[in-house]
Chain A
């Protein structure tokens, strides 16, 4: 079943009337490695079903934050609340090459129906026919879709995306954006997507956070519907790039600076 068919007949939830308890809650979170403090007193709430993009340059602490939320970096004695039901998609798909695609998707799951569940998840990402393929025969985009299926088959309440499209070509990346949005609408997990691509953050997220030197430097909620963002988000784009500490032309984040032709 295609996720795209699924979401059409779903009504979007109304704007949050009375805030439900957040899925993720960090208060005054600090993380240091030896002398270096990577995250300084971070506060973060993510609402159920919210799509949050986390922007930041290399070394801003965004990966550390994601690893904390993923439970890969244990935070002792700190005020961190994350759901147990969570899944990560890494930049490199991290499929186990010695397990067939469906075994990768069902990794760590138990039960008699795991193959069916894996198959359903793979169909959702358009790879229902590659069930028995070896991961090393997949293209980069396919591998990343398998990684998405592996995350979604767990029906996570929190989906963590660690620069999931950074290694893909431009066209594949745009297709993946659509796929992620479709899957997000169909399954409604809270999403935290780490990226260094301002356009990607603006195209996908409900809310964009900018992390700089271990602190949240800015926070922007985007009210415009996703399909209509185009030109309307130009001011936001420039603002975010400014906060990231570079003019659009020199930031190196955007391959084709808009200012050059506009």
Chain B
């Protein structure tokens, strides 16, 4: 195997191990196929066309304004979903009676695929913003609930006992031991909730939207504008990446005590 470091390492060998090569090659191939007419524009627009469309949509304000609408939907739905999930998990995790009341209902809820509720939500909430936000909220509740609940329940009992031996009250125990102990699980739940929220956003936005990324996609479909569709797909991907980055950022701050963070 070629040594990974050293001045003798040639440009070509570095190129061979770069993670950028295969995506870029694919992109070039795609461009070539589009230019040569192998892939018609109505099937899939060329990368250069997509880039041009992206630039034009940003400059015209079409993309930013619709992105903002979608972003607000996710943010509102997530805020509601996460808050409800956290509260329910605290109730179920911290008391036996709460567990008996909350957990069975949540387990039943888990068996229903959120997106299957779309027709019912349209009947209940109409076709405005409400069903979209409600779907996102409904879907993002469960990952937070499940992870925080099991996180609370799996805090090392020896730590709880140790803290109890120093005379901590129940409230102090929850604040100093149980909640920080469940924090890593909560963040795992948060990461799942964010990605599910974006997934649900994509579908929810197809409901008779008059603004938002889903509206852009629907419109583009009607006019066979594959370039706009690809732009929107890219934006969805960026949203997912951004969500992931956000959770990592929170983790770096909240879990600074962890060995991997401590060593870094």
Contacts and interface: CB of A to CB of B under 8 A. Distances in A.
Given A136-B258, A137-B262, A96 B180 contact: yes
B183 A92 contact: no
A99 interface: yes
Contacts, number: 53
Contacts of B183: 98
B163 interface: yes
Interface string B121-163: 0000000000000000000000000000000000000110111
Given A87-B166, A99-B176, A108-B166, A136 B262 contact: yes
A150 B180 contact: no
A70 B258 CA distance: 30
A243 B228 CA distance: 85
Given A72-B161, A88-B162, A99-B176, A108 B262 contact: no
Interface in B207-261: 255-259
Nearest to B261: A134
Interface in A155-190: none
Nearest to B166: A108
B72 interface: no
Interface residues of A, number: 20
A97 B165 CA distance: 17
B162 A97 contact: no
Contact of B159 (A88, A96, A137): A96
A96 B177 contact: yes
A88 B165 contact: yes
Nearest to B256: A134
B163 A134 contact: no
A90 B181 CA distance: 19
Interface in A115-172: 134-137, 150, 154
B168 A108 contact: yes
Contacts of A90: 158, 162
B172 interface: yes
B257 A107 contact: no
B16 interface: no
B166 A98 contact: no
B172 to A, nearest CB: 7
B166 A107 contact: yes
Nearest to A136: B259
B163 A96 contact: yes
16 contacts: A70-B165, A71-B165, A72-B161, A72-B164, A96-B159, A97-B257, A98-B180, A98-B183, A98-B255, A107-B163, A107-B166, A107-B176, A108-B163, A135-B257, A136-B257, A136-B258
Interface of B: 158-159, 161-168, 172, 176-177, 180-181, 183, 255-259, 262
5 A-B pairs with the lowest CB-CB distances in the bound complex, closest first: A94-B162, A98-B180, A88-B165, A108-B166, A98-B257
